Amino acid sequence: MNKNTLQQAGKRFLLSEYSGPTIAILVIGIFLSIFSPQFLKLTNFINISNQIAINIIIAVGMTILITSGGIDLSVGANVALSGVIIALYFRAAPDGGSPFIGILIGLGMGMLLGAINGVIVAYLKAPAFITTLGTMGVFRGFALVFSGGRPLMGINTDFINTFSGFVGAIPKQFIIALLIALIGGFVLNHTSMGRIAKCMGGNERTLRVSGIPVEVYKVLMYMITGVLASIAGMVLTSMMAVAEPIAGQFYELDAVAVVVMGGTLLQGGKGTVFGTLLGAILLGVVRNGLNMIGVPANYQQLFVGLIIMIAVISGSRRKQAVQF
Amino acid sequence: MNTLIEMKSLKKTFGGIKAIQNVDLELYAGEVHGLLGENGAGKSTLMRILCGLEIPDKGIIKIEEKPVEIFKPTDAQNLGIGMIPQELILIDGMTVTENIFLGHEIESNKLGFLNQREMREKAMDLLEGLGSGDIDPDTYVGLLPKAEQQIVAIARRIIQGGKVFIMDEPTSALTENETEKLFTVIRKLCSEGKAVVFISHRLEEVLDICDRFTVLRDGKRIVSVENTDQIKKGHLISFMIGNEIEEEFPHTATTPGEKKLEAQNLSFTTSQGVEVKNVNFDVCAGEVVGITGLVGVGKTELAQSVMGLRKLKDGQILINGKKKNINSPVSAVKSGIGYVTEDRRGEGLVLGLKSLYNMTLSSLKKITRFYVIRGYHEKKLGLDYSSKLNMKNEYIDLEVKKLSGGNQQKAVVIRQMMGDSEIIIFDEPTKGIDVGAKAEIARLISSLSKEGKSILIFSSEPREILGVSDRIYVLNNKGFKGPFKRGDLDYKKLMAIEFGEKNAGGAQYE
């Protein structure tokens, strides 16, 4: 490779949506490895991958949805409600239940909750933001009501082992998250569903006059998001071995944050799952690093918020630079 | 009469196209001035300049003999100039009084409390003065009929200190009674020394209300004359179209096949709320059928109704002789209808997406296996069609917003061709496209019909319609006329029908 093509590749990287999060991860990573001897250790990386898995799973669905011009704020509540329903099944089943049925129930819950959001947005034409803000309350409410407001124990052990534990040194939930990210990226870039998502976010009218059943696809996108949230719910329930009705709070905001940090346009039309993955890693590294270097808990929120703001602002500045 | 506004040698070019060239226009205090011309003659541009919505390349505007600078709408407003398109300046959810005094509220003290009573009384006086005392100052504007909304808009302009009132097609949505009411208001305004610019395609009304009128053609002023009894509708039409030499649009006649689409007794409502009834037309395989009429008469709405984008009030559509229930674009596309929209950028294209992706949007099934897009197939298909339409190969990988209007239009047409549409609806196909590309689009339409496709063109460009169509239907404000055979209509006859001239020529055949 000669100098020119290297320069070009460098330039293309800088202009791509991946440059911001990548540079940020590197800078923060270098900073942390200097100031904290623990940071570069394998156990710490395992730790980080453990922490970001759930965010990745939810954010992949959110990436597809936001690309299509939608948004779902009910995913956090979905995580809790799916977990609670599965726990109720395991507690009610006389023989402790089968993990297979538990998973089916979880996936079914995700589809159902996603479909509820989708139908309201697509057919009743309610704005997605407010709709899912409403269902967020409703889903959370059901989680509290069904669980009696208490954490539910008695989760099937095989079920727990499906979603947590290790393969070699790598946490299972991280493998699941990476698989989902791979599939999500493929769906967005190489399937008609992904193409339609991008068109829907870019110009919904065009899809409509082209004779594509926009409403059907809209519901499908919400269902994908719902299913991924319920998978996140199953992972979380397995990790804690207990279903918490108050679990998953603010997961929706973390997901939206990493989606936007990764370069997906909040108004839709352009989206990248790989960018989302980078965003999730960045957020994970920051959270981990703040602990590592001993930043007091009260200050951590502040820094996380600042990092998200910087990432998003630099992202939109880059977009302007590319456009003009 | 003293001159209120004088516009001198105004000039404005849009991307090489001269919208208006050296136009002069004088408005006298106390007159209703009719502004006439075909679509694209430059009326709107001229008025947009006066309102500060466009900045002229050259020219002077004087108000009461003093030169003024109008760079933005507020400049015009401060000088007392304003358009009356009610939907832009009224807020539906506020009362008549609130709307009239919006931005000019009367305060009862220094703290900014509103003096509701005084405003209400003044509003009533004002409406009374306009001969419309029956409008309740406390109702919400959104609940009023269109005509009364217009009067409220006028009242609002008066409060703002309006001297010149520009009304663009103010009567298009009004009934005859409402029109009469509006004319009373207009006459009242003029008796108080204000000037009204009246733009309308309804020539009877122009002859009825205007004291003088100016005719524009191709961006030039043709004539400014006083309205006298000697002037008839025919004069106005010939002023507007001049001695037209018909331009050649490439067209080769084809022998039409069997009937593909037949519309029976359609009725629909235009976006201005006018109901159009008894629309009957058909198109055969290999035939180009033009449906024309003036801007705003409801062509686009008709096209959208056929495409299932708008609800038909009545009537049915037959495809290949079978009745089809087309209630959405999904069912239209299933029935083999493709739609090339008028609003290419707003509706026809996903601007941020590659043009290739825009082309294959209606035929994803062709390029996927188990919903997975086969990139190689997609690209090959795109290249096949783009070279068929003389589109450069590298264009298919560009974002479609980077292409010229003509190439964007080709991308939309390719989508219909790939989707195997048997019937293709073109709505204003050459809008915003330069002259060279226009001829190319016309050729393209011709070649599509030669391949056996049925083409329906909805266009307000008479030359285009006359040039490419085998048969022509005309929609005017009295109803749906036609079909007229190619060759039976010339430019003058077509215009006469469009303007609703009685005893218009053109042999009608059944």
Closest CA to B477 of B171, B42, B37: B171
Distance CA A215, CA A205 (A): 12
Q: Is B419 on the interface with A (CB under 8 A)?
A: yes
Distance of CA B329 to the CA centre of its chain: 23
Average pLDDT of the residues in A121-125: 96
Distance CA B182, CA B355 (A): 48
Q: In this structure, how many other beta carbons lie within 10 angstroms of the beta carbon of residue B354?
A: 18
pLDDT (0 to 100) of residue A54: 96
Q: A84 to chain B nearest CA, in Å?
A: 34
Cis peptide before B256 (omega within 30 of 0): no
pLDDT (0 to 100) of residue A206: 93
pLDDT at A249 over 70: yes
Strand (E) or helix (H) holding B136: none
pLDDT (0 to 100) of residue B250: 57
Residue B348 DSSP class: I
Determine if residue A96 is left, alpha or beta; phi over 0 gives left, psi from -120 to 50 gives alpha, anything else beta: left
Strand (E) or helix (H) holding B506: none
pLDDT (0 to 100) of residue B506: 40
Interface test mutation site (partner A, options B339, B361, B416, max chain A beta carbons within 10 A)? B361
Distance CA A165, CA B54 (A): 67
Q: B419 to chain A nearest CA, in Å?
A: 9
Task: Answer for the pair A280, A52: CB distance below 8 angstroms, yes or no.
Answer: yes
Q: Is B346 on the interface with A (CB under 8 A)?
A: yes
Task: Enumerate the β-bridge partners of residue B349.
Answer: none
Q: What is the pLDDT of residues B404-454, one digit of tens each?
A: 778 888 899 999 889 888 999 999 888 767 666 777 888 888 888 888 899
pLDDT at A1 over 80: no
Q: What's the token pair of residue B233?
A: 């509708």
Task: Enumerate the β-bridge partners of residue B292.
Answer: B459, B474
Distance CA A241, CA A234 (A): 10
Distance CA A61, CA A229 (A): 8
Q: Mean pLDDT for chain B?
A: 84
Q: How far are the Cα atoms of A158, A277, B104, B430, B450 from residue A271, in angstroms, in the given order? A: 36, 12, 47, 33, 42
Q: B35 to chain A nearest CA, in Å?
A: 35
pLDDT (0 to 100) of residue B244: 55
Q: What's the token pair of residue B328?
A: 């959405």
Closest CA to A263 of A220, A307, A304, A317: A317
Q: Is B351 on the interface with A (CB under 8 A)?
A: yes
Average pLDDT of the residues in B116-135: 86
Q: How far are the Cα atoms of A43, A315, B331, B445 from residue A30, in angstroms, in the given order? A: 17, 21, 58, 62
Average pLDDT of the residues in A289-294: 88
pLDDT at A91 over 80: yes
Q: B307 to chain A: which residues are within 8 Å by CB?
A: 209
Q: B352 to chain A: which residues are within 8 Å by CB?
A: 202, 269-270
Q: Answer whether B329 sits within 8 Å of A210, measured CB to CB.
A: yes
Q: Name the pLDDT band for B505 (thresholds 50, 70, 90).
A: very low
Average pLDDT of the residues in B75-83: 85
Distance CA A154, CA A165 (A): 18
Residue B202 DSSP class: -
pLDDT at A146 over 60: yes
Exposed e or buried b for every residue in B339-353, given b needs 16+ CB within 10 A? bbbbebeebbbbbbb
Q: What's the token pair of residue B252?
A: 């080769």
CATH architecture of the domain with residue range B1-80+163-172+189-243:
3-Layer(aba) Sandwich (3.40)
**How many contacts, defined by CB atoms under 8 Å, are there between A and B?**
74
Q: Is B307 on the interface with A (CB under 8 A)?
A: yes
Q: What is the pLDDT of residues A33-65, one digit of tens each?
A: 898 888 888 899 999 999 999 999 999 999 999
Give me the residue spans of the domains in chain A. 50-315
Higher per-residue confidence, B272 vs B356: B356
pLDDT at B349 over 90: yes
Q: What is the pLDDT of residues A160-205, one digit of tens each?
A: 999 999 998 899 999 999 999 999 999 999 999 999 999 999 999 9
pLDDT (0 to 100) of residue B273: 77
Determine if residue B315 is left, alpha or beta; phi over 0 gives left, psi from -120 to 50 gives alpha, anything else beta: left
Q: Is B59 on the interface with A (CB under 8 A)?
A: no
Residue B95 DSSP class: B
The residue to which tokens 């609800």 are assigned: B311
Q: A212 to chain B: which residues are within 8 Å by CB?
A: 330, 361-362
3-state secondary structure chain A: CCHHHHHHHHHHHHHCCCHHHHHHHHHHHHHHHHHCCCCCCHHHHHHHHHHHHHHHHHHHHHHHHHHCCCCCCCHHHHHHHHHHHHHHHHHHCCCCCCHHHHHHHHHHHHHHHHHHHHHHHHCCCCCHHHHHHHHHHHHHHHHHHHHCCCCECCCCHHHHHHHCCEECCEEHHHHHHHHHHHHHHHHHHHEHHHHHHHHHHHCHHHHHHCCCCHHHHHHHHHHHHHHHHHHHHHHHHHHHCCECCCCCCCHHHHHHHHHHHCCCCCCCCCCCHHHHHHHHHHHHHHHHHHHHCCCCHHHHHHHHHHHHHHHHHHHHHHHHHHHC
Q: What's the token pair of residue A174?
A: 């991280």
Distance CA A290, CA B147 (A): 66
Exposed e or buried b for every residue in B226-251, given b needs 16+ CB within 10 A? ebeeebebeebbbbbbeeeeeeebeb
pLDDT at B503 over 50: no
pLDDT (0 to 100) of residue A323: 45
Highest mean pLDDT among A144-153, A266-275, B391-400, B455-464: A144-153
Q: Name the pLDDT band for B249 (thresholds 50, 70, 90).
A: low
Distance CA B360, CA B363 (A): 5
pLDDT (0 to 100) of residue B389: 85
Q: B415 to chain A: which residues are within 8 Å by CB?
A: 210
Closest CA to A268 of B351, B361, B328, B362: B351
pLDDT (0 to 100) of residue A122: 96
Distance of CA A247 to the CA centre of its chain: 15
Distance of CA B435 to the CA centre of its chain: 20
Q: Answer whether A199 sits within 8 Å of B357, measured CB to CB.
A: yes
The whole model's pTM is what?
0.77
Helix (H, G, I), strand (E, B) or coil at B218: coil
Q: Is B420 on the interface with A (CB under 8 A)?
A: no
Q: B423 to chain A nearest CA, in Å?
A: 14
Q: Among A193-207, A250-264, A299-313, which is the least confidently predicted range?
A: A299-313
Q: Is B376 on the interface with A (CB under 8 A)?
A: no
Distance CA B216, CA B241 (A): 9
Radius of gyration of chain A (CA): 20
Give the one of A192, A203, A207 whose C-beta lies nearest to B371's C-beta. Answer: A192
Distance CA B174, CA A216 (A): 40
Distance CA B252, CA B446 (A): 7
pLDDT (0 to 100) of residue A324: 37
Q: Which residues of A touch B (CB under 8 A)?
A: 190-193, 195-196, 198-199, 202-203, 205-213, 269-270
Q: Is B295 on the interface with A (CB under 8 A)?
A: no
pLDDT (0 to 100) of residue B248: 53
pLDDT at B379 over 90: yes
Average pLDDT of the residues in B327-344: 90
Average pLDDT of the residues in A204-229: 95
pLDDT at A241 over 90: yes
Higher per-residue confidence, A274 vs B53: A274
Q: In this structure, how many other beta carbons lie within 10 angstroms of the beta carbon of residue B463?
A: 18
pLDDT (0 to 100) of residue B510: 29
Closest chain A residue to B336, measured at CA: A211
Q: Among A71-85, A275-289, B67-81, which is the least confidently predicted range?
A: B67-81
Q: Answer whether A211 sits within 8 Å of B332, measured CB to CB.
A: yes
pLDDT at B298 over 60: yes
Distance CA B82, CA B78 (A): 9
Residue B376 DSSP class: H
pLDDT (0 to 100) of residue B77: 83
Within B258-398, strands assigned E span 259-269, 275-284, 288-292, 314-319, 322-324, 337-340, 368-369, 372-373
pLDDT at B253 over 70: no
What percent of chain B lies above the pLDDT cut of 70? Answer: 93
Average pLDDT of the residues in A253-266: 91
Q: What is the pLDDT of residues B183-217, one digit of tens each?
A: 888 898 888 888 999 988 778 888 889 999 999 88
Q: What is the pLDDT of residues B404-417, one digit of tens each?
A: 778 888 899 999 88
Closest CA to A251 of A221, A274, A230: A230
Closest chain B residue to A183, measured at CA: B372
Q: Answer whether A210 sits within 8 Å of B341, measured CB to CB.
A: no
Q: B280 to chain A nearest CA, in Å?
A: 23
Determine if residue B30 is left, alpha or beta; phi over 0 gives left, psi from -120 to 50 gives alpha, anything else beta: left
pLDDT at B37 over 50: yes
Q: Name the pLDDT band for A153 (thresholds 50, 70, 90).
A: very high
The residue to which tokens 């270097």 are assigned: A293
Give the one of A190, A192, A202 whose C-beta lies nearest to B350's C-beta. Answer: A202
pLDDT (0 to 100) of residue A321: 57
pLDDT (0 to 100) of residue B239: 83
Q: What's the token pair of residue B291?
A: 């449906």
What percent of chain B lies above the pLDDT cut of 90? Answer: 23
Q: A83 to chain B nearest CA, in Å?
A: 31
The residue to which tokens 């009937």 are assigned: B259
Q: Name the pLDDT band for B507 (thresholds 50, 70, 90).
A: very low
Half-sphere exposure of B175 (CA within 13 A, CB side): 5
Rounded to 5 degrees, what angle do the CA atoms A47, A48, A51 make?
90
Average pLDDT of the residues in B79-85: 81
Average pLDDT of the residues in B50-55: 87
Q: Answer whether B350 sits within 8 Å of A198, measured CB to CB.
A: yes
Q: Name the pLDDT band for B504 (thresholds 50, 70, 90).
A: very low
Q: What's the token pair of residue B505?
A: 């020529």
Q: What's the token pair of residue B348?
A: 């026809």
Q: What's the token pair of residue A78?
A: 């979905």
Give me the residue spans of the domains in chain B. 1-80+163-172+189-243, 344-421
pLDDT (0 to 100) of residue A75: 97
